[in-house]
């Protein structure tokens, strides 16, 4: 199942932008559940219900994403057609309402992933069951998921049957540098518009926590992470945050079947920073198409379909779980 980009949609940038303009029809009817956390915060989960005996797929979205992101809708639509169950777990502050605490979420938050997957596993009563639990992470969510898989090694297999990670910024320093150059600054401005708004909103509730004037003026993700992400989550600066949160060094420790898909023309992740097969565990399958952009992978005919990516993922998960 090889991905081939349509001739009318060249370039990683266009393939990344295009799905945002032509989202799949939202025929997914989620059931929302709120989890209250021990630290006083909350997260929201959007459930795609199905037969209790069906496989369960847990999805972690990308930066400022959610259950209505184009890639989530295409994956959940495929899961729905298979009569499987799905759960989209929103990171703190990403479900449409501000979270309660000063902290938010970040690319290396594997502790949060660990807690979320364990709760899903126990509440879904999967212990001593042969029902598989699959998990998918996209972009930032994929990075946090891969880091968790590497950290947990064999223990991850007690919870999940197989995993897939899509368009992942495996090397956060390389991704950050790429996003701060050329046309890619378009994406930086897009992310900063919501990230900055959320950070300034927090300052209304936590006066003096951060430098509001500097945050309002920042123009790169490096600056934002230095001013907001790093200090709110216990890192000294951007360099420490990016170094300690990158998932690439953890790929060699993964012990459950894991699919990693990154297009070589992904504007968020330079092809030169992608790992070679000898740098990852034998349990990791690397798929690096020449085209596809960032979570794009559009297929003809016009106006395009988002079928290749979910079909590739579900095929891998089903094969790994059989």
> In this structure, is residue 65 part of a structural domain?
yes
Q: Decide if 7 is inside a domain.
A: no
Token pair of 257, please?
A: 């079947």
272 is catalytic: no
Whether 231 and 91 map to the same domain: the answer is no
Q: Which of 67, 77, 110, 139 is catalytic?
A: 139
Question: Residue 144's domain is classified under what CATH number?
Answer: 3.40.50.1820
Of the residues 245, 263, 279, which one is the last residue of a structural domain? 245
Output the pLDDT for position 302.
Answer: 65
Predicted pLDDT of residue 87: 98
Note whether residue 240 is domain-resident. yes
Contacts of 254 (CB under 8 A, 6+ apart): 146, 149, 150, 153, 156, 280, 281, 283, 284
> Is residue 106 one of the residues assigned to a domain?
yes
Residues of the chain short of pLDDT 70, as ranges, are: 1, 5-15, 17-26, 302-304
Closest residue by Cα to residue 57 from 68, 47, 66, 43: 47
Residue finishing a domain among 192, 212, 245: 245
Q: How many domains does the chain have?
A: 2
Domain boundary among 212, 245, 278: 245
Same domain, 17 and 84: yes
Answer left, alpha or beta for residue 149, where phi above 0 means left and psi between -120 and 50 means alpha.
Answer: alpha
Specify whether 284 is located in the same domain as 231: no
Task: State the CB neighbour count (10 A cutoff) for residue 170.
Answer: 24
Question: How far is residue 63's CA from residue 186's CA, in Å, rounded to a whole number?
Answer: 15
Rounded Cα distance between 304 and 269, Å, is 23
108 falls within a domain: yes
Run of H or E including 44:
strand 42-48
Q: What is the pLDDT of residue 205?
A: 94
- Let me know if residue 47 belongs to a domain: yes
Of the residues 44, 109, 225, 266, only one is catalytic, namely 266
Catalytic residue status for 139: yes
* 212 & 96 share domain: no
Do 81 and 30 lie in one domain? The reply is yes
**Is 247 designated active site?**
no
Domain housing 215: 172-245
Residue 4 lies in a domain: no
* pLDDT tens-digit map of 75-109: 999 999 999 999 999 999 999 999 999 999 999 99
Q: Which position among 61, 90, 106, 294 bears the catalytic label? A: 294
């Amino acid at each position: 199942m090889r991905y081939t980009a349509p001739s009318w949609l060249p370039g990683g940038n266009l393939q990344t932008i295009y799905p945002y303009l032509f989202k799949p029809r939202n025929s997914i009817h989620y059931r929302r559940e709120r989890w209250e956390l021990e630290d006083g915060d909350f997260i929201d989960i959007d459930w795609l219900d199905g037969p209790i005996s069906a496989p369960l797929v847990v999805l972690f979205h990308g930066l400022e994403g959610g259950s209505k992101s184009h890639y989530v809708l295409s994956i959940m639509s495929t899961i729905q057609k298979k009569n499987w169950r799905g759960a989209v777990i929103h990171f703190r502050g990403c479900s449409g309402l501000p979270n309660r605490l000063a902290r938010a979420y970040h690319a290396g938050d594997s502790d949060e992933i660990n807690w979320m997957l364990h709760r899903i596993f126990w509440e879904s009563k999967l212990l001593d069951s042969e029902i598989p639990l699959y998990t998918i992470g996209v972009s930032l969510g994929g990075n946090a998921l891969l880091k968790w898989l590497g950290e947990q090694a064999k223990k991850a297999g007690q919870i999940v049957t197989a995993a897939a990670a899509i368009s992942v910024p495996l090397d956060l320093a390389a991704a950050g540098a790429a996003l701060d150059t050329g046309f890619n600054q378009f994406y930086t401005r897009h992310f900063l518009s919501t990230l900055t708004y959320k950070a300034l909103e927090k300052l209304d509730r936590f006066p003096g926590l951060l430098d509001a004037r500097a945050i309002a003026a920042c123009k790169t993700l490096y600056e934002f992470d230095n001013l907001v992400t790093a200090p709110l989550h216990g890192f000294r600066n951007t360099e420490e945050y990016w170094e300690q949160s990158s998932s690439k060094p953890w790929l060699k420790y993964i012990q459950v079947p894991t699919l990693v898909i990154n297009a070589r023309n992904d504007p968020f992740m330079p092809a030169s920073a992608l790992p070679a097969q000898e740098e990852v565990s034998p349990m990791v399958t690397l798929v690096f198409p020449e085209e596809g952009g960032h979570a794009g992978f559009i297929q003809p005919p016009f106006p395009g379909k988002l079928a290749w990516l979910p079909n590739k993922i579900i095929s891998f998960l089903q094969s790994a779980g059989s």
